[in-house]
Amino acid sequence: MPNIETLTPAAGHTDSAGLRAYDPDQLARCAVDGAQPWWRRTACVEALVGRVPQARVGELLACVRDTEDSGTVRKALLELLSDRAELLPWLRHEDRRREEAYGMREAVLQARGALGDRTAAAELATLAFSHWQTRRAVGEAGLDALMDRHGVEAVLAELGGGRPEERAVAVRVRDRAGEDVTDALADPDPEVAHLAQSLLTCPDRLRARLAEAPTADAALWAAYALHRLTGDVAQTRAAYEALGRPRVEVDGLDEEIRHAIVHEYGHECEKQSDPRWRIEALCTEPPRPPDEERQLALATAALAAAGLAPRTPLSCGDAHRQGGGTYHVIGYGEGGRSEVFISTLGRFAGDHEDDPAARAALEAAGFRWIDGPTGAIRVTGLGVYYFGAREPLDVHTLLFYWQD
């Protein structure tokens, strides 16, 4: 006869069907037992869906409220017990904003939405506007629950619409109701406009909007959405020309570097980015990619000729032992402790110390050295993901980009 331990012998090895058929009282006892591993307790919670024993509800709720207990177990229990109205005062307490367990604050907001707490609407809207898909899903689920309980208009009234995230909720609601949201392409916040363009599906409506757009940005978003739907580059370029080839001007950023950056990052830039970067990436020819093998051989030979004893080049991913990016690393000197970077985006080279010997050798070989002032130029309006952030980055980071 199997027991809970044999049904959950190790993390990731759960007999889910067996647990679902197991005695719910025993599952509940295991779920609140702090001596059991978190993964076994969580599996027991998941097996209790739809059959929570009433006699154990108090213990389960106490476990949810225990901030010293496993966050993973508490989140699972909160989802299981999200229909328990007696949880609401605890959920609304200001201490919940200081919850440290990963994902717990989001789970609390989702539970408040499930319980019909309209005062959670603003925070749920903020979650629904997040760059992170899991947070967006929580925010949208919580808002949907509120709308199911109180009606769409009541929730929108609770939000007010003053913040971009609140306007984004209104755009989603209108689109879901079958309304035309092309007017939202003129929203002053690029994230709201980006959302609106992602929802549009009618090329003819977008062509009409392009012809009568109230702002240059609205026209750019219409052209971008139209390109997404049709893939018609000629049409997109015609709109780009008609608008005067608009672009984000960055002080000190020359055309060679700009061209490399816009075609590496402009197509997949973050949603808050200025639409001019996206259109420029679509409407200009990409630079010819360098022959990386030849480029690395040339750099290695130049460093060797300068007596700098270069080592075998490594991709930045191999150099960091994980991830990848847009450059190779060549160690040189005693023990290979010094390094130069060779970009995969063009003839760009650099380092962190601005070593004059390495610079002279590589410049003589035809590379362009990215010095401190040039590398420090921030490429404004272009949001690029970088270790959890999505803000504009400087030239050095973009040309020599690594992400784990």
Single out the residue of 36, 178, 130 nearest to residue 28, CA to CA.
36
Record the tokens describing residue 55, joined without a space: 């006699």
Calpha distance 205→222 (Å, rounded): 9
Token pair in block for residue 225: 């959405």
Average pLDDT, integer, range 4-26: 93
Instruction: Give pairs for 330-334: CB < 8 Å, separation 24+.
Output: 330/296, 330/299, 330/300, 330/303, 332/303, 332/308, 332/358, 333/308, 333/309, 334/309
CA atoms within 13 A on the CB side of 167: 18
Q: What is the pLDDT of residue 307?
A: 96
**Percent of the residues in the chain that have a pLDDT greater than 70, as a whole number:** 100
Report the pLDDT value the prediction gives residue 184, as an integer from 0 to 100: 97
Strands 368-369 and 348-350, bridge-based pairing = parallel
- Judge residue 193's burial from the number of C-beta atoms within 10 Å of its C-beta, 0-12 exposed, 13-18 middle, 19 or more buried: buried
**Which pLDDT value is given to residue 2?**
85
| Cα atoms in the 13 Å half-sphere on the side-chain side of 11 | 4
77, pLDDT greater than 90: yes
The pLDDT of 178-184, averaged and rounded, is: 96
Distance in angstroms (rounded) separating the CA atoms of residues 178 and 176: 5
Residue 1 has pLDDT above 70, yes or no: no
- Output the pLDDT for position 335: 79
CA distances for 196 relative to 107, 222, 382, angstroms: 27, 10, 19
Tokens 């309209």 found at: 118
Cα–Cα distance measured from residue 134 to residue 74, given in angstroms and rounded to the nearest whole number = 18
Q: What backbone torsions phi and psi does residue 169 show, to the nearest 5 degrees?
A: -60, -45
Mean residue pLDDT across the chain: 95
Tell me the pLDDT tens digit for each residue of 46-75. 999 999 999 999 999 999 999 999 999 999
pTM over 0.85: yes
- The position carrying tokens 């006869």 is 1
pLDDT 10s digits, 183-241: 999 999 999 999 999 999 999 999 999 989 999 999 999 999 999 999 999 999 999 99
pLDDT of residue 336: 74
Interatomic CA distance for residues 343 and 400, integer angstroms: 6
pLDDT at 334 (0 to 100)? 85
The predicted pLDDT at position 225 comes to 97
What confidence tens digit (pLDDT) does each residue in 355-399 have?
999 999 999 999 999 999 999 999 999 999 999 999 999 999 999
Helix (H) or strand (E) holding 350: strand 348-350
Residues 129-145: what's their mean pLDDT?
Answer: 95
d(CA 216, CA 213): 7
